[in-house]
Structure 1
Amino acid sequence: MRFAPLAAWIVLGIWAAPAVADEAHDWLERLAQAERAQSYQGTFIYERNGSFSTHAIWRRVEGEGSHERLLQLDGMPQEVVRVDDQISCVTGSLADQLSTGPLWPSRQLIAAQLQQSYELRLVGKSRVAGRAAVVLALLPRDQHRYGIELHVDMQSGLPLKSLLLSDKGQLLERFQFTRLNTSMPATKSLQGGAGCQPLRPAVTQIETDPVWQSDWLPPGFALHASTQRRSPASDEAVACLVYGDGLARFSVFLEPLRGAAAEDLRSQVGPTTAVSRRVQTEQGDVMVTVVGEIPMGTAERVALSMRALPAEEAP
């Protein structure tokens, strides 16, 4: 069975032959289970803004524990090792780019949580890295999020290819396996190289009750975490709020300026948008920065909607 890429569905806004929704949901649940429980090793390519890089990955799952290693194969060797989703070692240039979670871009999707914001379809079959796959498409119901196309391995349930696309069908980001082996990786292959050094966090992060809130959020997004960290530039306390809709995520950072000069900024690299806006509050100006995989207009609207909770409303 042939299929049209998700880009065509987004541009045209139609579906050629709707499949049974339950079957698509079953594949999505199987994918989520495989990402939690399946060991594997392989190589994949990452594409963003027309730039490609190649990576090797090893992941071993035993009981409730996991051990992962990611090694960039292009240019200077860069790698990171995680044990139970916590960074064990990393090369210096990667230290500021990592967050908790699997190294392969697991999205931990739950079909029931996505129905408000996405239309899930089973749109065909494909072949990736020599393996048969089914193709799932998650079509956004509004302009505040991107679409995603997932090619799911029929044998293991793992995602073989993941495409993130804009509302105009523009490819924003691609992860695609070129080789996948679902056998258990050897212990030696999970060990970091000589350049992989234990991570010493540059900032301290603690869980906190939120003292900021947004007067507007894209439909389907909810607050997932509220933390506070120290800015490495000014040693100022920075509040961080993380929002998600079950697929997309974005973070809001709020840093008091204390009279410091700061300019509004906006940028986008692939699917990642960053918007900084100076906001006036009763306690002084605050720089609000929104970073995440959401469209520019959505990020700007979130940034301008942030407000500090009055003392009587704060937890």
Structure 2
Amino acid sequence: MRFFSLLLLVGSMAMSVQAADAQNWLSRLLKAEQRQSFQGVFVYERNGSFSTHAIWHQAGQNDGESRERLLRLDGAPVEVMRVDGRLKCGSSAVADQLIEGEGPWPPRPLDPQKLAEWYEIRMVGESRVAGRSAVVLTILPRDQYRYGFELHLDRETSLPLKSLLLNEKGQLLERLQFTQLDTSTPLTKDKLEPGPACQPVEVLQTSTPKQGAWRSEWLPPGFTLRSMHTQPSPVSGENITYLMYGDGLARFSVFIEPLHSALVEDARSQLGPTVVVSKRISTADGDMMVTVIGEVPLGTAERIVLSIRASEEQADR
């Protein structure tokens, strides 16, 4: 309520200044994640379920490699290690399902100017998270095709202390919030080395986005193809086509798998912010199952599924 009251009270000039300040904070966030080393503990909430994680992040210095280790502290042990942003190892619970650029704590290459085309970015106040002073930004979608965010950025370092993912009604879908953050204590070597349960991960390499055998006749404004590849299904051995789209903040994936007369029903579900929509389509090569998975509204995912088509080259075979 405070945010909307603020919009009514300030003039257009003040709003322009505020938007510029908000974009400046996003730029500072991007630099901080690249240059600032830190360690801490955060809570992750999704669909009413909570988990606690420790993170150690060593920024690259003097052309040295950056290292990041993530460890879940409750429930089944899960660990992920990144070197220069690329996955090095993961626990068995995640090692078989990680794709380059995906997985826990994924990097999102923010471009504040481009984001402003699809989101309204505003500074809305101040807060205190993990004992640290923070500024609060809202990133609200300009259409119904994506979710909004609320970010609490550390005043001292610009690192994100809290991130909330909100639906079109302002309801919480996902929360990531630090309870401890240390940016001054040097990271020791043992904290940046993976544990014995962190197994080497063979990451699926993605190709440069290009026109492939499949296309989408409709995409939400601002979303572009970021990566594409094929991989064998662990169940059938058939090649599955994988496409990943993003707008710089939100993203979704499309999976296309041959069915070979298998009886599979269309499906739709939502768990917290993540939706899964599957639909059977007919092509010249037989029936395929198209599945959209991502953190977008259910209606967006359904419209994307309905728009997936085989390219003319494939359809003519």
TM-score w.r.t. the length of structure 2 is 0.89
- Residue aligning to 2:231: 229
CA distances 1:108-135 after superposition (whole Å, capped 9, x unpaired): 3211111221101011111111111111
Report the residue type matching 1:83 in the other structure: V
- Residue aligning to 2:250: 248
CA distances 1:251-307 after superposition (whole Å, capped 9, x unpaired): 111111122221111111111111110011122111000011101111011001000
Once the 2 structures are TM-superposed, how far is the Cα of residue 94 of structure 1 from its aligned partner? 2.1
Range that drifts further, 106-115 or 25-34: 106-115
CA–CA distance in structure 2, aligned partners of residues 305 and 103 of structure 1: 29
- Residue aligning to 2:269: 267
CA–CA distance in structure 1, aligned partners of residues 236 and 58 of structure 2: 40
- Residue aligning to 2:36: 38
- Residue aligning to 2:146: 145
CA–CA distance in structure 2, aligned partners of residues 286 and 167 of structure 1: 32
Report the residue type matching 1:252 in the other structure: V
CA distances 1:181-213 after superposition (whole Å, capped 9, x unpaired): 113421111112222222356xx6552742111
- Retained in 2: the 8 A contact 1:68–1:103? no
Q: Structure 2: any 5+ residue segments left out of the alignment?
A: none
Once the 2 structures are TM-superposed, how far is the Cα of residue 243 of structure 1 from its aligned partner? 0.8
- Retained in 2: the 8 A contact 1:205–1:228? no
Range that drifts further, 108-117 or 241-250: 108-117
- Retained in 2: the 8 A contact 1:119–1:139? yes
CA–CA distance in structure 1, aligned partners of residues 300 and 140 of structure 2: 17
- Retained in 1: the 8 A contact 2:45–2:174? yes
Once the 2 structures are TM-superposed, how far is the Cα of residue 16 of structure 1 from its aligned partner? 5.7
Q: Which of the two has greater helix per residue?
A: 2
Tell me if 1:78 matches 2:81: no
- Retained in 2: the 8 A contact 1:149–1:164? yes
- Residue aligning to 1:62: 60
Give the number of equivalent residue pairs: 305
- Residue aligning to 1:297: 299
Once the 2 structures are TM-superposed, how far is the Cα of residue 107 of structure 1 from its aligned partner? 2.9
- Residue aligning to 2:126: 125
- Residue aligning to 2:27: 29
User: Which of 51, 54, 73 in structure 2 is aligned with 1:53?
Assistant: 51
Once the 2 structures are TM-superposed, how far is the Cα of residue 312 of structure 1 from its aligned partner? 8.6
**2:58 match: secondary structure:** strand
Report the residue type matching 1:82 in the other structure: R
- Residue aligning to 2:196: 194
Once the 2 structures are TM-superposed, how far is the Cα of residue 220 of structure 1 from its aligned partner? 1.3
Q: Percent identity?
A: 54
Once the 2 structures are TM-superposed, how far is the Cα of residue 219 of structure 1 from its aligned partner? 1.3
